Amino acid sequence: MGPGGGWCYNGTGVAEAAPHVKRHAKSFSNQSQETFHALHFPAGGGCLYRTVHGGDYASYWEWWDKLDGVRSSRPTDCSPGFPPS
């Protein structure tokens, strides 16, 4: 675990990222086989999502400053974030 500490998502529903992780998630490790969707709510409105597949890992995540929360089902009210999911 890095200097900011970790945060675990239980894999169900929607969860807001813990304050110490929200927009500070420099790395991540999906240690399950479940797919979830990282969510970002830009200041100008709307919603973006990024799919994270089971077993995915990033030591430096390009979405580190965007993570606002996660959800288990693909959001239909959000647009795919970069890179496309």
18-54 tens-digit pLDDT: 999 999 999 999 999 999 999 999 999 999 999 999 9
Q: CB neighbours of 6 closer than 8 A, spacing ≥ 6?
A: 21
User: ω before 83 within 30° of 0 (cis)?
Assistant: yes
Task: Answer yes or no: is pLDDT of 79 > 90.
Answer: yes
Q: Domain ranges for the chain, please list them.
A: 5-71
Give the pLDDT of residue 73.
94
Task: Answer yes or no: is pLDDT of 64 > 50.
Answer: yes
Distance (Å, rounded) from C-alpha 45 to C-alpha 36?
22
